[in-house]
Chains A and B, each alone.
Chain A
């Protein structure tokens, strides 16, 4: 079975632009979470969606938004990009939105803002 897939792999954007990152969860998984990993740090939680509803939001500005589609894939949108948004964006899926279920991560999208 395919794991979590993310696209694109790499992306270079200019300050002020917007970006859309995409994620497809493991087949059968209904929960998708997004994390931002800045170089040299652990991942930071951005959003979680379960059954197309937002379950949680991390401490990120309103420039960050996300949604989950009926097929459980998800998009992360970032508007008005700043240099500090440069990071590896990780998507994770889980079979259930329950505390005991581990999350499986995709390879990430490397975003560089210049």
Chain B
């Protein structure tokens, strides 16, 4: 069965500094990986996905993610954090069955301090 792990409950970073939110995955076959962000009392917003191709994927709001097959990781990154980036971030992997459901990690809270 597919699974994802987000080892950090919370990541703290100063505004202007680079940020990394970690995600590791376990899949059988080719991984289809996604990052979503959730603001308070809101649904999930799609940030980016990796299906195939370049290991560095660029997404919305200046975010990017690096796919590393040997380390089975898909870490979310941003060169310069903004206070407005403070939110809950979820990594997800697509189940390869008829439902194509998303399997989410437990989430990482990002806090960017001014």
Number of inter-chain CB pairs below 8 Å: 71
- C-beta contact mask, A76-114 vs B, less than 8 Å → 1, else 0? 000000000000001010000111111111111010000
The reply to whether B34 and A102 form a contact with Cβ atoms under 8 Å apart is yes
Across the interface, B46 reaches (CB within 8 A) one of A43, A98, A102, namely A102
Interface residues of B (CB under 8 A from A): 32, 34, 36, 41-46, 49, 51, 90, 92, 94-107
**Bound complex: CA A33 to CA B45 (Å):** 15
Chain A interface residue count, CB cutoff 8 Å, equals 28
Known: A99-B32, A99-B94, A102-B34. A45 touches B43 (CB 8 A): no
A15 within 8 A of B: no
A18 within 8 A of B: no
B48 and chain A: residue at smallest CB distance: A102
A3 and chain B: residue at smallest CB distance: B43
A16 within 8 A of B: no
Known: A100-B32, A102-B49. A43 touches B44 (CB 8 A): yes
